[in-house]
């Protein structure tokens, strides 16, 4: 995890100290911590994972009890960094264990399955504005949230108010956290971006495809626009009708990662076929030189049905000709050879051409 304010010796690990405005686009540094108590397994488990721009780059868990790199560009950091981070991870593991025990007692709970979570991080947006957050959860529900603007805590239930009052009363505690989110977290985000600049600051052009189908019950068409293989994560994909953003009868997924570190996304729309030409899937992304508009394709269902009908008609025609010729042949006076052949078939297994 990213350290809280640490000795100056740690800071020399940065290859370059990059200040605000050196990176285009928006970038984020986020951490997720989870401590689980599972009596059915006879054990507890703690894990911390760190993400830069949605990419897992570092983690700690209670099995290895070490902070470890998850991407190649983090492997070049010196042993001093990993030893320090591993030490912080072990301290946090013990802190989470105590916090979970405290909350169980506070809620008068038995030794069942319980978990405690913490998420925190920062973000620099394209306009240069900075965001920072820290949330605490218990058993899957939000417990406490830090309000960075007022440098105070927001409690979500009466038990959380106990912690809220305690932390708000500690001199300088909230202000120190605000400084961490506003400055120290941003500094580490910029350092990590410098370490992984070839990966994190690259752009990958999205591939956009549109598929369609016709709904049998009402004749409406459903079109799905798939956007795949893009990086960075930020993308603007919308349906446009006559050039204007159109939201009616639309659905959309979430931006999700691919195995190669790129992302994918989808959105769908249901329309009347006669209006098909008015719609476009509109995509804007850093990997595109200019916005992309993809027209809707005619549903293939009508073509498929037409081919099936034509095939059936052709088959019927062929069968009719075949039956007519067989009937014509059967009514002709048989030659000797023909009679002998038919007679032999009657005394054996029926021949395939006897009706």
Residue 319, pLDDT above cutoff 90: no
**Dihedral, CA of residue 252, residue 258, residue 261 and residue 264, to nearest 10:** -20
Domains and CATH numbers, the chain: 27-201 (3.30.500.10), 207-294 (2.60.40.10)
Report the distance separating Cα 354 and Cα 112, nearest Å. 78
Question: For residues 193 and 27, is the Cβ–Cβ distance under 8 A?
Answer: yes
Average pLDDT over the chain, rounded to whole?
82
Query: What does the buried/exposed string (b/e) look like for 180-206 if buried means 16 or more CB atoms within 10 Å of the residue's CB?
Result: bbeebbbbbbbbbbbbbeebbbeebeb
Query: What does the buried/exposed string (b/e) look like for 28-51 if buried means 16 or more CB atoms within 10 Å of the residue's CB?
Result: bbbbbbbbbbeeeeeebebbbbbb
Q: Which comes out higher in pLDDT, residue 252 or 40? A: 252
pLDDT given for residue 126 in this prediction: 85
- The predicted model scores a pTM of 0.69
Question: For residues 36 and 115, is the Cβ–Cβ distance under 8 A?
Answer: yes
pLDDT tens digit string along 234-265? 999 999 999 999 999 999 999 998 988 899 99
Residue 304, pLDDT above cutoff 80: no
H-helix or E-strand spanning residue 252: strand 250-252
Residue 1, pLDDT above cutoff 60: no
pLDDT tens digit string along 121-135? 999 998 889 999 999
Kindly state the percentage of the chain with pLDDT values over 90: 68
């Amino acid at each position: 995890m990213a350290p809280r304010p640490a000795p100056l010796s740690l800071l020399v690990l940065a290859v370059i100290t990059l200040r605000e405005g050196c990176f285009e686009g928006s970038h984020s540094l986020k951490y997720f911590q989870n401590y689980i108590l599972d009596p059915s397994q006879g054990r507890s488990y703690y894990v911390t994972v760190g993400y830069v721009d949605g990419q897992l780059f570092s983690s700690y868990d209670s099995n290895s009890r070490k902070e470890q790199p998850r991407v190649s560009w983090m492997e070049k950091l010196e042993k001093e960094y990993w030893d320090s981070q591993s030490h912080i991870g072990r301290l946090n593991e013990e802190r989470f264990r105590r916090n979970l025990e405290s909350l169980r007692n506070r809620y008068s709970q038995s030794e069942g399955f319980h978990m405690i979570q913490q998420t925190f991080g920062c973000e620099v947006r394209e306009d240069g504005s900075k965001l920072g957050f820290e949330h605490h959860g218990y058993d899957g529900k939000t417990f406490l949230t830090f309000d960075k603007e007022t440098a105070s805590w927001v409690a979500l239930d009466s038990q959380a108010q106990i912690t809220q009052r305690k932390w708000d009363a500690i001199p300088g505690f909230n202000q120190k956290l605000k400084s961490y989110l506003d400055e120290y977290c941003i500094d580490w985000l910029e350092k990590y971006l410098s370490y992984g600049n070839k990966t994190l600051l690259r752009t990958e052009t999205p591939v956009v495809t549109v598929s369609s189908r016709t709904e049998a019950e009402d004749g409406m068409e459903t079109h799905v626009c798939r956007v795949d293989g893009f990086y960075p994560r930020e993308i603007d994909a919308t349906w446009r009708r006559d050039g204007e953003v159109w939201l009616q009868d639309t659905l959309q997924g979430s931006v999700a990662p691919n195995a190669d570190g790129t992302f994918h996304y989808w959105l769908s729309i249901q329309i009347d076929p006669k209006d098909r030409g008015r719609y476009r899937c509109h995509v804007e992304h850093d990997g595109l030189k200019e916005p992309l508009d993809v027209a809707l394709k005619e549903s293939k269902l009508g073509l498929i049905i037409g081919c099936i009908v034509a095939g059936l008609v052709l088959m019927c025609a062929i069968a009719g000709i075949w039956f007519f010729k067989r009937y014509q042949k059967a009514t002709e006076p048989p030659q000797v050879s023909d009679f002998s052949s038919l007679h032999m078939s009657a005394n054996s297994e029926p021949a395939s051409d006897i009706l």
